[in-house]
Structure 1
């Protein structure tokens, strides 16, 4: 395989050169962290605390979009919201090295939330409520959520496939089943959106799953605003629902915490299944579209087999069968 992927030039020397271009002096220790869309490393600093270096995937975001992400984080930090904001060097946090945008941020040590801990769910609701209360002005440069467009684009990606490798293609014999299932979920999503969609969207984190939250010094912090966007409040809440039999108990804790800062429009609960289905469809398309990146080949070696696609179709069917359970 030839090194033609987006991060092919991001070798250790280039990583250290980028970090040291800020004036910091590394001790040459590089520890890769769990990130695939971008590349994230813990970098040891001589006579200092390690920093986290994040290298943005080329051509994914514009400089203006990255700057808006950073300005949001700096504003949130100044307002006392527990987030990890980028470090500034000579008044700037958006750094560039060898045509690649990157940033440095402090290292945060802690634990991710416990999936079924109701007390922690209340705290997470509080944090997201505080976040939304502080992020009062819509984004100008960032994307705006559009579930039906996401479903269409992801489904088209799956059906067309990745020209880089035939290994990860949806088998021809499963395409009719896939098209039928996608059409069903899209129709259900369209109906839910027609029944209720907010008059105006709000700035949100956009990907606030458990791995993007860290309990540090008895306080939860939000990490990784890479997917921040104009969206719907419930997008930042539903990802913490892990129970399938009684999700209402978890939801009530999250919403009660959220309403410490902002009222929650319970009509948004009817959109949870829309966002759930969109996420399931988009995740498979994301894996397929990134298959030219060697990191994906290694981390997701199970992807693309006929068994994978059969399981994916079952997951899509479950989205249909479980529709409405969370909004009862």
Structure 2
């Protein structure tokens, strides 16, 4: 039995009605964009450029949490920092149609950064430094606060117990971690957790700061010669290195990439190099959490189509190998 998914009522007529409730007049063109957590569409507008409509996944964020995201984005835009902020209608950026929160963004056309381009890494560092500086007077009260060990524990427990609830249906047994692999999984996660706890006990910043939270290259766009930061959906109270380490693609000489990123970052904001030792922690958390995220969204038809390979025994074996790689590469960056 398939559970009713969160966006089952989000059909084309509803999407267009929502957009036109703002006073814009669509030309009925709808183009779905590559987003799996929320639903994002490019909508054609009569006699004007298209807009981007983002429909928030119900029950993921509260209204107060979304409003904090928007407030941060609009404040950055007001300071001239190149981010893509939501459009406002009658003074409000967070809209509601048929009980579903949504917002509209201007369309931005450009290219994502090149993974190994050192000049671009410097520019990305500059942009993230600008964003952190621009958020320095912002205080999140509703957004999540980073807690790596708690996040690791919750994700690993979900994978081990298969306890994810998908609407009214439990996760199919075929998509759960096979019983024969659970002892190895427990051992591997325990190793990474112990290494992470030791790192955190050695250094953890006394104060968290507002950050983007998910600044991978797909959330950056080179437009008219300038990088823009997109999609603050995961903004949170965290630490600076969380917004930097995802751009490290080299495993043998990550320091060269880090040097460019940090040099650009420090054009606007001082960086505490002690945070570099926490990259291994965040990498381990991300690998474990990604598998749990896929597992928790498997009832959504968009996920089924995009991630049809998830849940096989081969997938879990590859996941275990990825966790082992995290252990074997531990310390490469800080050495």
TM-score by length of 2: 0.97
Tell me by how many angstroms 1:3 deviates.
Answer: 6.2
**Equivalent of 1:288 in 287, 295, 301:** 295
Aligned mates of 1:155, 1:266 — CA distance in 2? 29
Partner residue, 1:78? 78
- Name the SS of the counterpart of 2:127 in structure 1: helix
Cross-structure match for 1:51: 51
Q: Does 1:148 align with 2:149?
A: yes
1:113 matched residue in structure 2: 113
Q: Give the Cα separation in 2 of the matches to 1:266 and 1:83.
A: 26
Which whole-Å CA distance do the structure 1 matches of 2:43 and 2:230 have between them? 18
Q: Which runs of 4+ in 1 moved over 6 A?
A: none
Question: TM-score of the superposition, structure 1-length normalised?
Answer: 0.99
Displacement of 1:166: 2.2
Q: CA deviation at 1:164?
A: 3.3
Q: Deviations over 1:216-271 (max 9, x none)?
A: 00000000000000001000000000000100000000000000011110000000
- Find the counterpart in structure 1 of residue 178 from structure 2: 171
Q: How many residues align?
A: 328
- Secondary structure of the structure 2 residue equivalent to 1:255: helix
Per-residue CA distance 1:70-101 (angstroms, 9 max, x = gap): 01110000101100000001110000011100
Q: Secondary structure at the match of 2:175?
A: coil
Matches within 5 A, 1:118-129: 118-129=118-129
1:182-197 counterparts in 2 under 5 A? 182-197=189-204
Q: 2:263 aligns with which of 256, 259, 266?
A: 256
Residue segments in structure 2 that go unaligned for 5+ positions in a row? 165-169
Q: Distance in 1 between matches of 2:181 and 2:171?
A: 20
- Residues 1:200 and 2:207 aligned together: yes
In the TM superposition, residue 22 of structure 1 has moved relative to its aligned partner by 0.6
| 2:33 matches 1:33 | yes
- For residue 236 of structure 1, the aligned residue among 234, 239, 243 is 243
Match of 1:220 in 2: 227
Q: In the aligned structure 2, how far is the partner of 1:153 from the partner of 1:213?
A: 29
Q: Aligned partners of 2:42, 2:99: CA distance in 1, in Å?
A: 21
Deviation for aligned residue 1:323: 0.4
Unaligned runs of 5+ in 1: none
> For residues 21-80 of structure 1, what are the alpha-carbon distances to aligned partners after superposition, in whole Å with 9 as ceiling and x for unaligned?
111111111000000000000000011110000000000000000001001110000101
Query: Equivalent residue for 1:322?
Result: 329
